[in-house]
Each structure stands twice: as C-alpha cells, then as structure tokens.
Amino acid sequence: MQTTLAPEYQNTPDGQAAEAILRKCVHCGFCTATCPTYQLLGDELDGPRGRIYLMKQVLEGQEPTRKTQMHLDRCLTCRNCESTCPSGVDYGHLVDIGRKLVDAKVPRPVTETAVRWALKEGLPSPLFGPAMALGQLVRPLLPASLKNKVPARQDAGVWPKATHVRKMLMLAGCVQPAMSPNINSATARMLDAASVQVIVAPKAGCCGAVKFHLNDQDGGKAEMRANIDAWWPHVEQGVEALVMNASGCGVTVKEYGHILRDDPAYAAKAARISALTKDLSELLPSLVPGLRGKVQTAGQPALVFHPPCTLQHGQKLKGGVEQHLAALGFSVRIADNESHLCCGSAGTYSVLNPQISYQLRDRKLENLAPQHAEVIISANIGCITHLQSGTDTPVRHWVEILDASLSV
C-alpha cells in the first residue's frame, strides 16, 4: 500500500515505521474474516483493513476525528489478523503508532480521560493489592459490574525454599499477585519439582503493557527500563530464562527489544531481555521428562483450554499446552469452533468497551460449552478473570492444575 507521508511525519521514527508496515499491506481482506470486532459489528472500519485505511489517512495529513479514535479504540489488539495475513503486516505495532498520533490530535472527554488515567495509574500501583483485598472483603455487596472484576480470595499456598543449579527469573506482575496469587506460587512449585529455582526480583513491577497500550507510551517505557534494571544483575549471573506465566506480560516483554530499539542506554539490554523471555508453556518440552513420574492424573477433571490471543497470535505459540499436558496424562480439549477468537478481555478493554467485551465472552463460553469440561484452563490472568465472570465452571491457569497433580 503506497503511502505519501505528510510533512509532519516525514523523517520521524513513527512515520518511517508506519510507512514500512503499510507497504506490506495488499488490502486483500483476509484479516477482516478473522477480526472479532468486525464479526460482531459488521463495519469495515471496525476491522483491520478499515483501520489501516484510517491510519493511512492520518499519516497522509487528514485530520483525525473522534470517529477515527473510536474505531481504533474498538480494536482489541488481539493480533488475530497477523496470524492470517499473507503479507506479514505488523498490525500490532501499526495500531500502537496510529493510536499515539490520533490521541495527540483528538482530545477525549473528561470522564473518558479520567477512567483511562485511573486504569493506567491504578493497576500498576502498589495500592492495587490493598484495594483488591478490600474489594474481596465486600465482594457480595458489590454491583455485578464490579464483582466481575474482583475474583474471590485465593490462597497462594507454599512457596518452595529449595535451591537448584538451574535458576530462572519470573515476573510477579502487577495485578496477578493480588487477584490470583496461586498462579505464581504454583509456577514456582511446578518448576521446583523439575529442579528449577524461581527468582523474583523485588523491584520489578508492571511489564509496561497497561500504560503503553493506554497511550502513555513514555510511562510504559519507564516501567520497562525499571524492570530491565531490576533483572540485569541476575542476567549477568547467568539465569537460564525469564519465565512468564501471564501471556499478556510475556508478549510485551518479548517486545522490549523492539520498543526500546532507539534507546542508546537500553537497546542492547532490552534485546537481551526479550531473547531470554519464555512463556511457561515453552519450557514444558524440557520439563515433561522430569515431571512425568511425579504427576498423578487419575481422577483429574476434564479440561478445555482457551488459548489467549497474546499466546497464540502475539507470541505465535499454538498447541504446546495441550500437547505437553497430554504427554503428562491429562485430557485437554479445545473448542471445536472459534478457538482462535478473542474472549474479549484484552487488558483494559473489558472496562473501556464492556458491551463488545461481554458479547465476545459469552460467545467464547458458548463455544467452550460443548466440550463438557469440568474446568476451563487458560494462560493469562485477564482471560481467566473475564471468563470466570460469565460461568460457574471453574476457570484456572493450566499451571495450577499441573501443580495440584504433583505427588511430591
């Protein structure tokens, strides 16, 4: 797609990066067929191809409007379109640029600005944990819209104390320790059973995704740099990997090298961090042999797996969880229909676009239901919480199921 950049975007990093991405687009429309928002709304401008045209117009000098902003806001950034694009269009990076340029020119209403500020400052804040604990205490009294975002209180269990030669870093995350603390401790116990020691750097916080995708890109980059500083001493000491058990965080940290590529002080370190980052499921092939004799699968519940978009599209990791859990004796199914589509969680999307988000949630649960599973498993805290708000069937992280099956 030929693009003639407006003078204000010529010779700028954002303009050059966007133009290079746009050149790959042949406007074939394959992306439209797999876009969740287009399937729901039926508007070309609520699909990737339409949004690409909107961003192209802005880059060529056309003034964006609130309507432009709305269509970009409605994008889930699920990146399903990337998985079906025959030309390799890097839509995820393009929409980050497009939103940044549009928001610089289109002011938001005061209420909308306040909500977005509260999300980007509140979720990564140290105060989020106490606020969540208070919410869990009064959960029965909360209206449904808030109760959906406040999971029942969970016991984290025991953190292993053994030391091992193999050591891996793990990001605790900003919301996961408060919302579902057992995911992190289950990860540590599972890796301990495979003779791997988990290290958590206390000064590492939010991965930066919340602020970055709410268009506080400078704030997101600051959090990324802080994490690199917290992890770097361990990297120098030779940790084997930086393991991620929330695929939304994992896809972001894997892109540190791209996001900070123009930062002279951090570019090389960011690239190294990205190279070390592994989703927990990527470790399973090397862990299965050591775990096989320690797992008791008799009496385990029937499982159906919802692969998060950040895992299957963002990180391009498909089939690993099902394959390797099956190798350990678990029965894991996926939905027969639309397993590739987003559940509607998408970070803060379920707060900012609740109507679309809940439609996608219910559609996802309808497609999972025919598997008659006793437990739904996933790999991202956002998906887990969002799906649980629409079903009585327990929704867990797959590592919690694996941890519970360990006999030692």
CA–CA distance, 200 with 167 (Å, rounded to integer): 11
Quick: pLDDT tens for 328-373.
999 999 999 999 999 999 999 999 999 999 999 999 999 999 999 9
Q: Give this prediction's pTM.
A: 0.93
Q: At what angle do helices 91-103 and 66-73 cross, to 10 degrees?
A: 150
Q: Angle CA(41)–CA(44)–CA(45) in degrees, nearest 5? A: 90
Tokens 């090298």 belong to: 257
User: What is the pLDDT at residue 293?
Assistant: 85
Residue 8, CB-side half-sphere exposure with 13 Å CA sphere = 9
Quick: pLDDT tens for 18-34.
999 999 999 898 999 89
Quick: pLDDT tens for 142-160.
888 888 888 888 888 899 9
| CA distances for 179 relative to 152, 176, 221, 233, angstroms | 8, 5, 24, 29
| CA distances for 372 relative to 113, 327, 398, angstroms | 42, 21, 17
